[in-house]
């Protein structure tokens, strides 16, 4: 699905060389939605999973850009706004603090695919992603762009703030 008036990152990557340092590439960046187990998913969850898989294929590796909202660069809240608008026809606010107010609150032990997860990554800094299963989330990372990370990873576990359900 090509949206936002830009060339998808994978096609563009063949034309533009992107410099990455060892410290900017984290191991979880190689995780693929398609490689995760899909056992015990309901029919609705499988639909959500399929749409998230499509979104990841379209956006994987797009670089992080504060204020960005396209294939040239995207920040975490714009990424969620785009994914939910383009793949689920759900409108989300543009900024993370407002996204945290939509939907209903979900306890961490009840997280499911499609839930929004929020983190307090600094004194005044927030971060957001969307769960692709009960353990991993897709997000626009400042270090590696659009990628998948594990919620149980120490950094994310320590900065976890809340979960919201909008689907």
Supply the residues annotated as catalytic.
76, 127, 139
Residues 96-135 as b/e (b if ≥16 CB within 10 A, e otherwise) read: beebbeebeebeeeebbbbbbbbbebeeeebbbbbbbbee
Ramachandran angles phi, psi of 98, nearest 5°: -80, -35
Mark out the alpha helices in the chain (DSSP H runs): 9-13, 43-59, 76-88, 96-99, 154-159
Q: Is 148 exposed, middle or buried (0-12, 13-18, 19+ CB in 10 A)?
A: buried
Residues 6+ apart with CB under 8 A from 157: 151
């Amino acid at each position: 699905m090509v949206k936002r008036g830009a060339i998808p990152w994978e096609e563009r990557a063949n034309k533009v060389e992107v410099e990455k340092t060892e410290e900017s590439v984290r191991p979880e960046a190689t995780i693929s939605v398609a490689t995760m187990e899909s056992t015990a998913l309901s029919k609705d969850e499988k639909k959500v999973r399929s749409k998230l898989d499509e979104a990841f294929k379209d956006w994987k590796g797009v670089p992080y850009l504060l204020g960005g909202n396209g294939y040239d660069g995207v920040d975490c809240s714009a990424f969620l706004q785009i994914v939910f608008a383009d793949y689920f026809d759900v409108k989300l606010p543009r900024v993370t603090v407002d996204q945290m107010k939509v939907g209903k609150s979900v306890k961490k032990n009840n997280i499911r695919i499609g839930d929004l997860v929020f983190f307090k990554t600094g004194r005044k800094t927030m971060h957001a992603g969307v769960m692709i299963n009960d353990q991993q989330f897709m997000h626009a990372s400042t270090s590696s762009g659009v990628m998948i990370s594990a919620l149980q990873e120490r950094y994310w576990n320590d900065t976890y703030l809340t979960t919201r359900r909008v689907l």
